[in-house]
Amino acid sequence: MVALGMALATGAPLALAEPPALPDGPGKAVVERTCARCHSLETVTRLRRTRRQWEAELDLMITRGAILSDDDFDSVATYLATHFGSTGGP
């Protein structure tokens, strides 16, 4: 917040972070197409969840309007658990 204030006060350009690049792999395009419709991909890439937790997150997103076929659901859950997985928890 201080950096933002300093940049605004001095007129210095503010460096914007590049959006995170998703690792290549099956399911990447579906994640980009489906998840990025409602929020930034940074929201996805900063999380670490087990496969079961990703499935619960996808179920929640579907109740909020995300549209995923059964095949896409499995593809996205596999992609997220592979690249943004966690070994802890259920």
Residue 17 confidence class, pLDDT cut points 50, 70, 90? low
Mean pLDDT of 77-90: 86
Burial class (CB in 10 A: 0-12, 13-18, 19+), 13: exposed
Domain 24-83, what architecture? Orthogonal Bundle (1.10)
Answer whether 66's CB lies under 8 Å from 34's CB: yes
All structural domains of the chain with their residue ranges: 24-83
> Which residue is listed with tokens 């999380």?
47
3-state SS, residue 39: coil
Q: Which segments within 1-90 are labelled E, that is strand?
A: none
pLDDT score at 21: 84
pLDDT score at 87: 74
pLDDT score at 4: 44
